[in-house]
Amino acid sequence: MIEKSAVLIAVGDELILGLKKEANAYWLSRELVLHGYDVVALEVIGDDEEVLVDLLNRWAGKVTLIVISGGLGPTHDDRTREALAKFLNLPLVRDDEAYDQIIARYPLESRENLERSREKQASMPKGARPINNPLGSALGFAITVKETEIFALPGVPEEFKAMAKHLLDSLEKEALLHFALCKVIGWPEVQLKDRIADIVQRYPANIMFLPEPNVVTVAIRGPERLVSSLKIEIRGILENDVLPEGVDNLEEAIINLASKLDINIAFAESCTGGMVGESITKVPGASSVFVGSAVCYSNQAKETVLGVPKEVIEKNGAVSEECALAMARGAANLFETDCSASITGIAGPSGGSLHKPVGTVCFAVTCLQNHRTWTRHLQGDREMIRLWSNNIALEAVWRELKKLDGKRRSEGSN
Amino acid sequence: MIEKSAVLIAVGDELILGLKKEANAYWLSRELVLHGYDVVALEVIGDDEEVLVDLLNRWAGKVTLIVISGGLGPTHDDRTREALAKFLNLPLVRDDEAYDQIIARYPLESRENLERSREKQASMPKGARPINNPLGSALGFAITVKETEIFALPGVPEEFKAMAKHLLDSLEKEALLHFALCKVIGWPEVQLKDRIADIVQRYPANIMFLPEPNVVTVAIRGPERLVSSLKIEIRGILENDVLPEGVDNLEEAIINLASKLDINIAFAESCTGGMVGESITKVPGASSVFVGSAVCYSNQAKETVLGVPKEVIEKNGAVSEECALAMARGAANLFETDCSASITGIAGPSGGSLHKPVGTVCFAVTCLQNHRTWTRHLQGDREMIRLWSNNIALEAVWRELKKLDGKRRSEGSN
């Protein structure tokens, strides 16, 4: 038996058929790691009693924790209860008291339906402990077998999370493994690996690279002291390019810094189609700095809405740094902001030319008196090019704000 | 041995740590189902030789196909080759010829690096057949054990897909299972289930419901004739609410219909922050009908950019049908379009009041002379409320276009 080890099992035909991405086990996996657990496997299986019994036979007695997501609902293809009973060679018995508590939460008119599901949803293998479901009607349960704690929770994401959080609370807090993330902006993964190669060579098992468009997350894990010293070392080297601790993404970094500097922001978007505005407004409280974004997909709209001069487009094309600059200035003007950024490019799959192939994207950023324009040639499909464009524009805004912050700080200290 | 059965194994610490969502196995799972395979399990495990050996022992001889994604790279924690050699009790041998072919694709300056990785990346268990990697440097391989075909492919998504497609091509095309999807718009899952309950009761094993915000996908699977007759039956009942066959999403349906009708479209967005523009521009060719979207997050921007009268906001608030209508009209005006839709609401987590709690979202749609406004009270977190709002606004545009299409058709036939 591996101490503090876990296997997570997600049950559902829709998961195995590629129709729905499994999310419960993924989420819990990370949470368990943060609680010091060694997650040995995530297993995604269909609504298949036999396969589940087989898995339970395989893992019970080998890991300390098994959490099953799904298969507890009222329909015939929900087989988790039956599989556990079969595996344990125990009968299913109803826990009417626990089910009554659940039913009591529902309005009278729904209770008839819930009564019809009682036989199924109130049942659990003899000796199992019921786990209350605060959001739905399927009862969860826990049972200990060969020193393995087995939890069966419903697969509805909100219900699973609420009940799993309860489980996490009950786990001892003392974590064996610690975890730190450094989110590095604007570095290609290969160059970043070279830059911190000596650290990685010293502690290869403790450092992982997770690339996303224009952002590489360096994940550090291990005992607390090691994680903390590695983190300081890596942050030291990449000082100008790493997001502040506790900040999850560029959007949050921008909002925090712009709030502090009292700078407001607008965007002008063409090929990203609104993605930049959408990203920044993912963060609650974006309204303190974000005023708006003008998504101008047609050239006509670039002219009439953003005031890009017709000649600029005629002479340079809509995908040009000149057009990008006019768009950014137009957005700052339209939304009356201190700072703005624009994106205009060819996301494909069609629309490219020899001179401007698919992936050509022009950017501009303005911040108070400053402005900057540049062009990137991006790889990948339409969605990838848009994501890169989004993150490159956000990076530029972040760097302008950092510059301004530095300037104000040095003025303040003079 | 279950005929035409498969197990997919994804290897990588980043997957198990919840840092990166597994996508290769999910994608292949669906593809295999469409090729008539019964996918028994997706197994996600860390970079752990022993666990992989254990899995291979468990599944070899039980399913006809095992595909492993990942663990073939050049670093010490890539253990898939070693695990297979151990499982087979065969030595690792280099296939230099196959690796030379890969290296030949690279520019001279990269070859030194690739030579350093030769020992690792060119190796495979004795007797395995190399599989060329058209996009990267890690060789894949295949080997048959106890009548199970085992494929080991690299985890880099583009490489995995390219190589797996080759594998899929080689599988016999004759599918045992067929598949059809009906995407139903605007129905709560429970009511939809009631509406087609008699069909579901007749063929429960063949019908699955996959709810997303404002869209429920009804997936039908089974033998070809059954799928085709169920599909016709379900489409018949839900005629007005189901996307046309072959259309994946509302965005595509809107673009197709608007193109046909020669109608262009604009949006005015507040709480969705650009999501609607972003969604519609996901579809290549959106530029034929989508002109732009004005993301006006602040009240000031709603007034200056969209021309919402100050009094409308003062009297009714920015989250009101009056404001939504003024926004939609403003967008149609600004972008000079035939059709427009607007969204203004409280996505939370803060900003709610007793009268207008979090989740209150007001909408308007205009199409030529028509307009309509309405309010919804949505459940869920910020992201969920925004997604629902997005899909509700798109639904409204789609229905307006359908109405117009019906009208023009009946005029045409008169």
Nearest to B301 among A14, A335, A383 (CB): A335
A40 contacts in chain B (CB < 8 Å): 45-46, 48, 51
- My answer on whether B81 and B34 are in the same domain is yes
**Could you tell me if B318 and B344 are in contact, meaning their C-beta atoms sit under 8 angstroms apart?**
yes
- Residue A209: phi and psi, rounded to 5, are -110, 130
User: Which positions ≥6 away from B72 have C-beta within 8 Å?
Assistant: B78, B80, B81, B121, B138, B139, B140, B152, B153, B154, B155
pLDDT above 60 (res A174): no
| A45-55 pLDDT, tens digit each | 999 999 999 99
Q: How many helices (H) and strands (E) does chain B have?
A: 17, 16
Distance of alpha carbon A154 from alpha carbon A137, whole angstroms: 9
Q: State the count of interchain CB pairs (< 8 A) between A and B.
A: 238
Q: What is the pLDDT of residue B131?
A: 92
Q: Per the domain annotation, does A352 fall within a domain?
A: yes
Distance of alpha carbon A2 from alpha carbon A379, whole angstroms: 44
Q: Of B223, B241, B259, which residue sits at a domain end?
A: B241
Q: What is the pLDDT of residue B18?
A: 72
**Could you tell me if B184 and B218 are in contact, meaning their C-beta atoms sit under 8 angstroms apart?**
yes
| B120-130 pLDDT, tens digit each | 889 999 999 99
C-alpha separations of B254 from A179, B212, B371 in Å: 45, 18, 17
Is B17 in the A-facing interface, judged by CB distances under 8 Å? yes
From the list A97, A166, A164, A105, the residue with the least C-alpha distance to A135 is A105
- My answer on whether A255 and A373 are in the same domain is yes
Is B410 in the A-facing interface, judged by CB distances under 8 Å? no
Q: Per the domain annotation, does A179 fall within a domain?
A: no
CA–CA min distance A66, chain B (Å)? 15
Is A290 in the B-facing interface, judged by CB distances under 8 Å? yes
- My answer on whether B316 and B353 are in the same domain is yes
Q: In chain B, how many domains are there? A: 3
Distance of alpha carbon B329 from alpha carbon B331, whole angstroms: 5
Place of tokens 């450094």: A182
Q: pLDDT-derived band of residue B156, with 50, 70 and 90 as boundaries?
A: confident
A30 contacts in chain B (CB < 8 Å): 17-19
- My answer on whether B355 and B212 are in the same domain is no
- Starting at the edge strand found earlier in the chain, the sheet holding A178-185 runs A178-185, A215-222, A207-212
pLDDT above 80 (res A176): no
B207: which 2 tokens? 């019908």
CATH of the domain at B133: 3.40.980.10
What mean pLDDT do residues A259-265 have?
Answer: 97
A112 contacts in chain B (CB < 8 Å): none
- My answer on whether B235 and B281 are in the same domain is no
Is B27 in the A-facing interface, judged by CB distances under 8 Å? yes
Is B168 in the A-facing interface, judged by CB distances under 8 Å? no
Q: Are strands A207-212 and A178-185 parallel, antiparallel or unpaired?
A: unpaired
Please name every residue paired with A178 in a beta bridge, in sequence order, or none if there are none.
A222
pTM: predicted TM-score of the whole model, two decimal places: 0.82
- My answer on whether A330 and A380 are in the same domain is yes
Mutation target to probe the B interface, by most B beta carbons within 10 A, among A22, A28, A34, A42 is A42
| A90-104 pLDDT, tens digit each | 999 999 999 998 888
**Could you tell me if A134 and A103 are in contact, meaning their C-beta atoms sit under 8 angstroms apart?**
no
Q: Of A131, A148, A170, which residue sits at a domain end?
A: A170
CA–CA min distance B240, chain A (Å)? 24
Q: Is the peptide bond before A349 cis (omega within 30 degrees of 0)?
A: yes
DSSP labels for B80-118?
Answer: HHHHHHHHHT--EEE-HHHHHHHHHTS-HHHHHHHHHTH
**Could you tell me if A72 and A166 are in contact, meaning their C-beta atoms sit under 8 angstroms apart?**
no
Q: Of A123, A141, A170, which residue sits at a domain end?
A: A170
What mean pLDDT do residues A337-355 have?
Answer: 95
Amino acid, single-letter form, for residue B44: V
Whole-number mean pLDDT of chain B? 92
- My answer on whether B262 and B404 are in the same domain is yes
Contact B271 A281 (CB under 8 A): yes
- My answer on whether A164 and A232 are in the same domain is no
- My answer on whether A288 and A163 are in the same domain is no
- My answer on whether A109 and A226 are in the same domain is no
Distance of alpha carbon B359 from alpha carbon B347, whole angstroms: 6
- My answer on whether B275 and B201 are in the same domain is no
Q: Per the domain annotation, does A178 fall within a domain?
A: no
Nearest CA in chain A to B336: A301
Nearest to A204 among B48, B76, B382 (CB): B76
CATH of the domain at A398: 3.90.950.20
Distance of alpha carbon A273 from alpha carbon A301, whole angstroms: 13
- My answer on whether B29 and B151 are in the same domain is yes
Is B230 in the A-facing interface, judged by CB distances under 8 Å? no
Nearest to B295 among A45, A75, A295 (CB): A295
Q: Which domain holds residue A75?
A: 2-170
Q: Per the domain annotation, does A157 fall within a domain?
A: yes
Express as a percent the part of chain A with pLDDT over 90. Answer: 69
Quote the DSSP letter at residue A186.
S
Q: Per the domain annotation, does A353 fall within a domain?
A: yes
Distance of alpha carbon A345 from alpha carbon A385, whole angstroms: 9
What residue spans of A89-180 are helical by DSSP H?
96-104, 108-116, 118-121, 157-170
> Nearest 5°: CA angle at B375, between B370 and B377?
155
Distance of alpha carbon A261 from alpha carbon A264, whole angstroms: 9
Q: Per the domain annotation, does A176 fall within a domain?
A: no
**Which value does ipTM take for this structure?**
0.81
B382 contacts in chain A (CB < 8 Å): 282, 284
Mutation target to probe the A interface, by most A beta carbons within 10 A, among B45, B63, B216, B293 is B293
**Could you tell me if A121 and A86 are in contact, meaning their C-beta atoms sit under 8 angstroms apart?**
no
Q: What is the pLDDT of residue B297?
A: 96
